[in-house]
Amino acid sequence: DSGVTQTPKHLITATGQRVTLRCSPRSGDLSVYWYQQSLDQGLQFLIQYYNGEERAKGNILERFSAQQFPDLHSELNLSSLELGDSALYFCASSGLVTTGELFFGEGSRLTVL
Amino acid sequence: GQQLNQSPQSMFIQEGEDVSMNCTSSSIFNTWLWYKQEPGEGPVLLIALYKAGELTSNGRLTAQFGITRKDSFLNISASIPSDVGIYFCAGLSRNNNDMRFGAGTRLTVKP
């Protein structure tokens, strides 16, 4: 158990819809990262937050947005969903010093039909 | 953005064999890491390398941080069935603001 909690674990929705994925980081971790993993693909970095502020941005689509709240949990919002958005979405957290050790949740599997 | 080229894409080996995989980049990283992902789970850190030329072991795993800071390799000795999974290299850039992952090496170990 990494200590990172993601909900929901599975989500099935239709094209054009909007979903919100939620992540609770490990206790005490200030950084939250979001990654997308498509079938048989690597981990694509989407966005990072540190203590409520956006710190780094990767290949995140304009249809996607995220935020980190004062209690440090984070949400990833995916809107105008397309078939190609079907993927595993991972949240990871890290502590104060960015050593590279990320603690990943079990992921949220999104299926867009 | 920074691209990590990881190879091989997949490996099918016999139990007991040694495994070697590597990762290269056109950019310099000041930290290289290797993660393993098992089915249905998120990646877990195996080894972290913080200094160019560093060679680090973790049990049967050995990884090295290339002296050019643009590459790293991971070796697994005497593979066992539980080594099955996807191995990802990852690089942390100078500003430490984001971490990029390679495409992964999918390892299958036949008993």
Nearest partner of B42 among A51, A25, A50, judged by Cα: A25
Output the CA angle A40-A6-A51, nearest 5 degrees: 110
In the structure, what pLDDT confidence band is assigned to residue B32 with cuts at 50, 70 and 90? Answer: very high
Would the pLDDT of B96 be above 70? Answer: no
Q: Tell me A26's DSSP state.
A: P
Would the pLDDT of B72 be above 90? Answer: yes
Q: Measured in whole angstroms, how far is the alpha carbon of residue B42 from the centre of its chain?
A: 15
- Contact across the interface for A101 and B102, Cβ inside 8 Å: no
| A and B: number of Cβ contacts within 8 A | 65
Rounded CA-CA distance A77/A69 in Å is 14
Is the backbone peptide bond immediately before A25 cis, with ω within 30 degrees of 0?
Answer: no
Conformation bin of residue B78: beta by default, left when phi > 0, alpha when psi is -120 to 50: left
pLDDT at residue B8, rounded to an integer:
96
pLDDT above 90 covers a percentage of chain A that reads: 81
pLDDT at residue B40, rounded to an integer:
86
Count of CA atoms in the C-beta half-sphere (13 A) of B86: 21
Asked whether A91 and A103 are in contact (CB, 8 A), the reply is no
Q: A77-86, A98-107, B16-25, B66-75: which has the minimum mean pLDDT?
A: A98-107
Would the pLDDT of B98 be above 80? Answer: no
Helices (H) and strands (E) in chain B, counts: 0, 11
Which residues of chain A neighbour B42 with C-beta distances below 8 Å? 2, 4, 90, 92, 104-107
Q: Which residues sit opposite B99 in a β-bridge?
A: B92
Would the pLDDT of B97 be above 70? Answer: no
**Of A43, A56, A57, which has the smallest distance from its Cβ to B101's Cβ?**
A43
Count of CA atoms in the C-beta half-sphere (13 A) of A4: 29
Rounded CA-CA distance A20/A34 in Å is 13
Cα dist from A23 to A62, A79, B41, whole Å: 20, 18, 15
Would the pLDDT of B63 be above 60? Answer: yes
Mean pLDDT over the full length of chain B:
92
- Contact across the interface for A98 and B96, Cβ inside 8 Å: yes
Give the SS3 label for residue B78: coil
H or E stretch covering A56: strand A53-57
Asked whether B35 and B49 are in contact (CB, 8 A), the reply is no
Nearest partner of B1 among B33, B35, B25, judged by Cα: B25
Which residues of chain A neighbour B31 with C-beta distances below 8 Å? 99-100
Would the pLDDT of A15 be above 90? Answer: yes
**Of B40, B42, B99, which has the smallest distance from its Cβ to A90's Cβ?**
B42
- Mutation test of the interface with chain B: which of A41, A43, A59, A101, choosing the one with the most B Cβ atoms within 10 A? A43
Rounded CA-CA distance A88/B104 in Å is 15
Q: A48 CB near a chain B CB, below 8 Å?
A: yes
In the structure, what pLDDT confidence band is assigned to residue B2 with cuts at 50, 70 and 90? Answer: low
- Contact across the interface for A2 and B42, Cβ inside 8 Å: yes
Q: Which residues sit opposite A75 in a β-bridge?
A: A22, A67
pLDDT at residue A67, rounded to an integer:
97
Which residues of chain A neighbour B102 with C-beta distances below 8 Å? 42
